[in-house]
Amino acid sequence: MTTFESLGLSAPLLRALAAEGYSVPTPIQSKAIPHVLAGRDLFGCAQTGTGKTAAFALPLIERMLADRRTAAPRRCRTLVLAPTRELASQIHDSFRAYGRHAGLKAAVIFGGVSQRPQSAALTKGVDVVIATPGRLLDLVGQRLVDLRAVEFLVLDEADRMLDMGFIHDMKRIVAMLPRDRQTLFFSATLPAEVRELASSMLDDPLEVKTTPQATPAETVSQSVFFIAKSEKRAKLVQLLREEATGRVIVFTRTKHGADKLHRDLDKAGITAAAIHGNKSQNQRERALAAFKSPRPPVLIATDIAARGIDVDQVTHVINFELPHEPETYVHRIGRTGRAGQTGAAISLCDNEERSRLVAIERLLRRPIPQRNAPPTGPIPEPAEPARGQRSAGGPGGPRGQRTGRGTGHGRPQSRPQAKRRQEGSRRPARGDQAPAAATVARKPKKKHRRAL
């Protein structure tokens, strides 16, 4: 049997792992750790909840311990890029937990909060920086961070960063790094764009896969209710009272929908908390802290929480609305059934969402068990969502709604901006702003006023 000791980890790390209650490495850890220790670039594909963070954090801490040196002011030895504030915070917590006996310093930087504590930590120099791309570039632009001494780069949830529009930010950051570095690239899915990005950043990488692409954990039981859109809220309340009585996450597609559902559950006497891109960092942290408590509220979330929220013993995930992208469904239900535990994923599908359900089942290569009879008639044609209609921080969302950008990130758009995005149109060229008919209609008025 493979053990952490047989993987080549030293006593300080073994003591930290024992304190965390970990004794046997997961498959991704067993496959990745020896190659990272050997200095190889790595391209890893592993679904969420498989121990991916430890697969890169443990060997990188080991490598820094083997070559102890003090980071210069404003510099770091290891840089980890993550798509969201929550994931960045959890990776930071993992580095601190695994490196508790190593004497290494780590800092986390992301937008939505004051940069003063972050810049103060970086001024002294740290061993590890975990960052979201937008805030990192902000601090680089202010010359508060110098990336020229990075030895190890990790891109975590790379497919999510591509979905959120961070590709140009990632390329700008990578261009600032030394070419002589070790790069670890992790993704839950392997679309062509991810492979293309990986090939441009990795040098003769070793590819490690632990599960088939976009396959949910076998410990998650899935089911779907076919239901009219107007009856979804009543059905959700019934499920929360009779069946989903543990630690539950309910997913919606939009921030507005999450807030409205929060109010509806409150009226029904069900304690809930909402988390999405328009919530401040303090509000999001309070909601997550309450969700981790012994008596958790129902957590209502947009897809900003579909990955990176590492909360133990989530018993149920309820898709109040099905996502536009089938892969997002996999990441949503990956919040339950983690680390060998069992969980349930329940979806509420109205008639307009039936084409999305078909796309999800096609990705899974199997049907989702039905809890009631589906409606008769042809499946409606899928409607391509406008950019501004996707959920906060989700794939294709508006630029101002990405998570983990610089200060002011997550700021809601003005109504005219949102309307333009929802209509999928750009501002017209100057010569196209007014139709000719409207211009002709205004001329008689002007002449009439002048005649008066």
Q: Is 310 contained in some domain?
A: yes
Domain co-membership, 188 together with 255? no
Domain co-membership, 297 together with 329? yes
Q: Is 178 contained in some domain?
A: yes
Which of 161, 180, 209 is the last residue before a domain boundary?
209
pTM: 0.63
Q: Is 291 contained in some domain?
A: yes
* Cβ-contact 43, 206 below 8 angstroms: yes
Domain co-membership, 389 together with 314? yes
CA distances (Å), 301 to each of 13, 213, 249, 291, 307, in order? Answer: 35, 24, 7, 12, 11
pLDDT at residue 101, rounded to an integer: 94
* Cβ-contact 256, 377 below 8 angstroms: no
Domain co-membership, 88 together with 232? no
The angle formed by the CA atoms of residues 323, 324 and 327, to the nearest 5 degrees, is 75
Domain co-membership, 166 together with 272? no
Residue 239 maps to which CATH number? 3.40.50.300
Q: Is 234 contained in some domain?
A: yes
pLDDT at residue 386, rounded to an integer: 44
Q: Is 428 contained in some domain?
A: no
Number of domains in the chain: 2
pLDDT at residue 309, rounded to an integer: 67
Q: Is 2 contained in some domain?
A: no
pLDDT at residue 212, rounded to an integer: 54
Domain co-membership, 194 together with 229? no
* Cβ-contact 236, 348 below 8 angstroms: yes
pLDDT at residue 400, rounded to an integer: 36
Number of H helices, E strands in the chain: 16, 13
Domain co-membership, 388 together with 309? yes
Q: What is the pLDDT along the chain (452 residues), one digit of tens a residue?
A: 689 999 999 999 999 999 998 889 999 999 999 999 999 999 998 776 678 999 999 999 999 999 988 889 999 999 999 998 888 999 999 999 999 999 999 999 999 889 999 999 999 899 999 999 999 999 999 999 999 999 999 999 888 888 778 889 999 999 999 999 999 999 877 778 888 999 999 999 999 987 655 567 678 999 999 999 999 999 999 999 999 999 999 999 998 999 999 999 999 999 999 988 788 778 888 888 899 999 999 999 988 655 556 787 899 999 999 998 888 898 889 888 876 788 999 999 999 999 999 999 998 889 999 999 888 777 776 655 444 443 333 333 333 333 333 333 333 444 444 433 333 333 333 333 333 333 334 444 444 443 33
CA distances (Å), 345 to each of 49, 175, 316, 331, 333, in order? Answer: 15, 41, 6, 11, 6
Domain co-membership, 133 together with 229? no
pLDDT at residue 384, rounded to an integer: 52
Residues 323-336 as b or e (16 or more Cβ within 10 Å = b): bbbbbbbbbbbbbb
Domain with 255, as residue range(s), is 220-422
Exposure of 122 by Cβ count < 10 A (0-12 exposed, 13-18 middle, 19+ buried)?
buried
Domain co-membership, 406 together with 280? yes
* Cβ-contact 256, 279 below 8 angstroms: no
Domain co-membership, 112 together with 78? yes
Which of 209, 236, 261 is the last residue before a domain boundary?
209
Domain co-membership, 166 together with 80? yes
Which of 150, 182, 209 is the last residue before a domain boundary?
209
Domain co-membership, 67 together with 171? yes
Strand partners, 273: 299
Q: Is 1 contained in some domain?
A: no
- Beta strand spans in 11-170 (E): 42-45, 78-81, 106-109, 128-131, 152-155
pLDDT at residue 161, rounded to an integer: 87
Total number of residues shown for the chain: 452
Q: Is 436 contained in some domain?
A: no
